[in-house]
Amino acid sequence: MNIENLSRNKSFDGWHKQYSHYSETLNCDMRFAVYLPPQASNGDKVPALYWLSGLTCTDENFMQKAAAHEVAAELGVAIIAPDTSPRGDDVADDDAYDLGKGAGFYVNATQAPWNRHYQMYDYVLKELPNLVESVFPVSDKRSVFGHSMGGHGALVLALRNPERYRSVSAFSPISNPVNSPWGKKAFTAYLGTDTESWADYDASLLMQKASQFVPALVDQGEADNFLAEQLKPEALEAAAKQSGYPLTLNRHEGYDHSYYFIATFIAQHLRFHAEHLKQ
């Protein structure tokens, strides 16, 4: 697999690097970032945390704003951050921020024109880890986490593929997208009007019927402007209660949807994942 290094920055004795590559899954060039902790420079393979960002974001938001490198370096865990959608002049798009480029929703689109490129579920699940594990000193011990739309994606990936992930966590995830305006709009465009197919990408519905468990941590700010209409953590809590899922959901007074919230609690998430990755 051919990849091109776009940038590199030393950080806490590790390296943050950006790369581009042609994605066979998405039929376009894609960019991703990787933080390699200092332990990786010894040739030892380190476990991997895959971060999925939210609407309008790229790989840069998390790597620059989350303050994750110091703890990742301490713990010896790599962080891989893909983009949030396919990119390119011939990739379908929409004028709104919540559909098209920057808003892939981590689904495999079935409807034209989106289905030509928007296969983010398979990209994050298969192609990107295969690439990362073949090029970098990164092992197949994986966990996944994300924010908002990315929190939705992380939960769905772990719930549908418990054999591939050691743990999952999310900040302010879209927990019940089949009942949220963001989810209804995206799923109608990408998946069509058959709402039964939407259930494959709804964390609350998946958790409700889960029989294999991946330890899950969710943090939600109580001052989040999207809390009631879009995020619906209460649906996830009810689903976990019904199936006995090992979910820890923390609510935090005064915190909003921003990276100030993420940076405040990122260390707890990294330590949570490291505990399971190193078992």
- Can you tell me the distance from the alpha carbon of 236 to that of 217, in angstroms, rounded to the nearest whole number? 11
**Catalytic one among 69, 147, 152, 257?**
257
Residue 46, token pair as written in the block: 């380190």
Provide the greatest CA pair distance for the chain.
51
Q: Which of 83, 202, 219, 224 is catalytic?
A: 224
Taking alpha carbons only, the member of 67, 76, 79, 83 closest to residue 28 is 83
Which residue of the set 148, 169, 180, 204 is catalytic?
148
**81 and 51 Cβ atoms separated by less than 8 Å:** yes
Backbone angles phi, psi at 221, to 5 degrees: -80, 135
Residue 72 to residue 31: CA distance in whole angstroms? 21
Active site residue 148: yes
Q: Establish whether 224 is a catalytic residue.
A: yes
Q: Exposed/middle/buried for 115, CB within 10 Å: 0-12, 13-18, 19+? A: middle
Torsion of CA 175, 116, 24, 98, to 10 degrees: -30
From CA 113, how far away is CA 46, in angstroms rounded? Answer: 39
- Which residues are catalytic, by number? 148, 224, 257
